Structure 1
Amino acid sequence: MKMTDEQLIALIEGEPNEELEAQLASDSNLKKRYDELKEVVEAMSTSGDVEVPFHVQAGVLSAIEKEKNKVSGNQSWLQIAAAVALLIIGFGAGKFSGTDSSNELMALKDEVQSLKEVTLTSTLQRYSASERIMAVNQIEEKGTVNKQLVSTLISTLNSDESPNVRYAALQALQKFINNEDVRAELVKSLEAQNDPLIQISMITILVEAEERSVIAPLKDIIEKEETTPEVKQQAEIAIQVLT
């Protein structure tokens, strides 16, 4: 028998359920879900004198589950914490009071979005290469991002130890190539890159953007002994196109 979140919450809040308790003892996935819900419910219960209705708890937990399905691994607890924090902030400020609820919900969505961006930034700084690539891809899918995330992508491009992560960051930054600051950062980054795939991709992106300030760095790249023949050839073609 599949147990619902509502049943798990009821058990957490002290309602006896021998069948569910027995299932928890033998089902590791259910126990993991129980522990996650318990963390959220306990956070709600320590939020002061604000009483969170049961149906709101269930709704928020359902929303958290949907968000968790979009990512994997170590990020999920961050999203739970973000959602709980926003719920507490919302009730503490008198939100969900039934007055002007659409504006309140829009404001709450904005806060959720901000915390998601913080989560992505944290992931790019701390987790495995595969998780960092996933975070970069999520940023790319957003379409519009704030300056902090763009700065994080640039930092990732310049310093991440994994060439695959750096390449993913470059592909994400390509979406913002119309931004003058992004183009300037790519020009600065070009000479610091040593992976031929990234170098060629970056040259191609800057040529397509008609960024003529890259000509001087291209000449420097051609003069470097360690530059591969393929990159030198691409740089020479780029100079011809841009001049």
Structure 2
Amino acid sequence: MNQTRKNELLEKYHAGRLTEAENLELEQCIEAGLIELDELEDIRQLDYQLSGLAEELSSLRMRTRFKEELTDPIDPQPAKTGHRFQLPQWLRLPAVRWAFAAILPVLGWTLAWWQFNHKPSAESGQLAAVQTELENIRTMMMMTLLQQESSSERLKAVHLVREINLESANRKITEALFSTLNNDPNPNVRLACIDELSKYLDAPEVREGLVRAIQHQDSPLVMLSLADVMIAIRDKQAVDSFKKAFDKAETPPEVRNDILGRLSRAI
């Protein structure tokens, strides 16, 4: 694909003017690595908009403090803002819009409660509650996108995990990633799941889940990626799991020998 065609597809995507054939072409380019998800800007735009909600919360806090310090009984006029919340193209999907609409009232109630009931002594706990709501929005978006038929949408879902602030493995998210890793028909989506799950190898359930996932794979690329993880965690059960997977799938001999050879030397 030449740069001109790539730019044309991206321009039409952002303008919402892609035909069905062009949308398929865009998905194929993403799967082939010719177009990166970051170039679509939707995930970054959503993160920016969610961050904007947190900034709005901070603004509400400042306005509340200002009112408390006033001695003049006349209420100040709130500052006008030119910010307008606009949904990215992929959030116009009915299922995604429904999920977003379901969570926004909760966040709106939290912001309103903050504005009228704010107490400086409880600031840290209240701010943490709002931040939790933001993480819930991202999680709901991820779960919804994972159910889409388009492989590029499912790739976006896995990419969205990176925007969720997790100090340890979140059971709800890891279960969704494992389900996708074991059942998604697209190897690139599975590879993305391995990449995200490998960030939580300190969690025993994640290590065990990755070992079990080996038997569900038939793609040589996915098997090679899992082999790298198994070498890192040095799990002896991995050898038997790979042998069972090889029996089910028509794995090329060179891939089979490479994986078993590396595992035998490392474990």
Quickly say closer, same or farther: Cα 1:143–1:202, change in 2 above 3 A.
Answer: farther
Alignment partner for residue 114 of structure 1, among 136, 140, 165? 136
The residue that corresponds to 1:197 in the other structure is: 221
Matched residues in 2 for 1:123 and 1:184: separation? 26
Quickly say closer, same or farther: Cα 1:173–1:63, change in 2 above 3 A.
Answer: farther
TM value normalised by structure 2:
0.59
1:134 aligns with 2:153: no
Matched residues in 2 for 1:90 and 1:55: separation? 16
Matched residues in 2 for 1:225 and 1:173: separation? 23
Listed one character per residue, the Cα deviations across residues 69-123 of structure 1 (whole Å, up to 9, x for unaligned) are: 69755346644553333213553xx432242473323312212212321221121
Q: Give the letter aligned to residue 103 of structure 2.
A: A
1:124 aligns with 2:146: yes
Greater Rg, structure 1 or structure 2? 1
Matched residues in 1 for 2:163 and 2:229: separation? 19
1:182 aligns with 2:206: yes
TM value normalised by structure 1:
0.64
Gap runs ≥5 in structure 2: 1-14, 17-76
Matched residues in 2 for 1:155 and 1:188: separation? 11
1:152 positional shift: 0.4
Matched residues in 1 for 2:145 and 2:253: separation? 36
Quickly say closer, same or farther: Cα 1:211–1:150, change in 2 above 3 A.
Answer: same
Matched residues in 2 for 1:133 and 1:225: separation? 24
The residue that corresponds to 2:22 in the other structure is: none
The residue that corresponds to 1:153 in the other structure is: 177
Higher relative contact order (CA 8 A, sep 6+): 2
Conservation of the 8 A alpha-carbon contact between 1:158 and 1:192: yes
Gap runs ≥5 in structure 1: 1-27, 30-53
Conservation of the 8 A alpha-carbon contact between 2:135 and 2:165: no
Quickly say closer, same or farther: Cα 1:224–1:71, change in 2 above 3 A.
Answer: closer
| Number of aligned positions between the proteins | 186
1:198 positional shift: 0.3
